Structure 1
Amino acid sequence: MTLAALNDELHQVLSDAQLVATRLPGLPELELWLLDPANLNRAFSSEETQQLLDQPPYWSFCWGSGLALARWVLEHPQQVRDKRVLDFGSGSGIVAIACAKAGAQQTIACDIDPQAQMASALNAQLNGVSLTLAADYFAVTGDIDLIVAADVLYDSDNCVFLEHFRQRAPRVILADSRVRDLQHPCYTRLNTLQGQTWPDLGEPLAFREVALYGNND
């Protein structure tokens, strides 16, 4: 897994795009390989737009909910310290990396996208931590102490995992900027966090408010 290989994957969508090591707004402790903001300062051709819709390189962004949850983890290290943690839908690996930094015994970055797994590995290396990579949530064996997930509830098909999470781990923490009123009897809203997607996509200010949920068990 090399940065050149990940850049090659990015070029399948945007031929002139590059990943750059980026410090995150409000989270100076961590750094990620993210899409160079300069690559967004131009008009896209119809072919590029279609490629972005068909194969969005979401792992090349740090999404607001992930940033907010990563900050929360670093501010509350006791929530993850010495625990075996699974980050579901890990994307760039930002939350998994924060868990490792906060002292998790093992952090599993779980994402079905091979490029996201590659990004998580390279971002972990950039931050001097080690992650375990997994493509299949159901193939992960052994006890899990904590499941974390950011921005997975926007897809209604993922709501079925809310019950799986509760059955798999005694503690579940979710962060989501699109779902701010989760109607589920087994989850409670814990807080409202602030998070900004980076590079900046000019999202509405409302999407910078991130709901934090935890299970009631």
Structure 2
Amino acid sequence: MLLEFVRAHTVSAPVPFVPEIKLRQAEEPIALWEATEAGGAEQPPPFWAFAWAGGQALARHILDDPELVAGRSVLDLATGSGLVAVAAAKAGARPVTANDIDPLSLAAAAANAADNRVEVTTIEGDLLDTDDRYGVVLAGDVFYSREMAGRVLPYLRRAAGRGSLVLVGDPGRAYLPEGLVRRATYDVPVPPALESVDVRRTTVWQVV
């Protein structure tokens, strides 16, 4: 049912900054959000239906330097569309886990993995109080609110402290923390309907 909804409300198209990957993307953000709430229950924004700048930059960085993830276990935290998880799998990561609290997000991630012929496992739920070990933890665009940043950063720092490579992609969101190590910066095309601009300067940071 969820997979059918995702397929019905998106169009598969190459990601602007990562054309090696096709992603199921919505053409009308507001119309899609209204459709997700048609059943009467309040739903989170359909983050899963767009190629956000942080995820695009992180996916580009991984594909350009596959040794970062090749042969290592990867967690794509707050996966959204699954773009970063798909990029990791394409770069040779094994196994790749995509996590989100939104079941529609995980349906989209599964659909996008299948469309790109890679294997990605999905896990639904809040992992931020857990301490599972992954070789690499990836997070695209997670510092968009004070609440989210306050919960995500301790998790990412714990993962780094356990020896994981922890990378985040961020287009200058308001709650980006200090103390991160800059790895690369890109000018990433974004949907003007969501970002009010055509391009976002986006940085891949390492959490240490």
TM-score under structure 1 length normalisation = 0.78
Q: What secondary structure, in the 3-state scheme, does the structure 1 residue paired with 2:189 have?
A: coil
Q: Do residues 92 (structure 1) and 81 (structure 2) align?
A: yes
Instruction: Deviation per CA, 1:63-100: give whole Å up to 9, x if none.
Output: 12211211111001011111111111100000000000
Deviates more, 1:18-27 or 1:133-142: 133-142
Q: Pick one of 186, 201, 204 that aligns with 1:209.
A: 201
Unaligned runs of 5+ in 1: 9-17
Distance 2:73 2:14 in 1: 27
Give the corresponding residue for 1:167.
158
**Amino acid of the residue matched to residue 201 of structure 2?**
E
The alignment yields a C-alpha RMSD, in angstroms, of 3.1
Give the corresponding residue for 2:17.
26
Identity %: 31
Distance 1:142 1:152 in 2: 19
Q: How many residues align?
A: 199
TM-score under structure 2 length normalisation = 0.82
Distance 1:193 1:22 in 2: 21
Q: Do residues 148 (structure 1) and 141 (structure 2) align?
A: no
Give the corresponding residue for 1:133.
122
Q: What secondary structure, in the 3-state scheme, does the structure 1 residue paired with 2:183 have?
A: strand
Give the corresponding residue for 1:184.
178
**Amino acid of the residue matched to residue 32 of structure 1?**
L
1:138 Cα deviation after fit: 4.9
**Amino acid of the residue matched to residue 157 of structure 1?**
E
Give the corresponding residue for 2:64.
75
Unaligned runs of 5+ in 2: none
Change beyond 3 A, Cα 1:2–1:157? closer
Whether contact under 8 Å (2:181, 2:206) holds in the other structure is yes
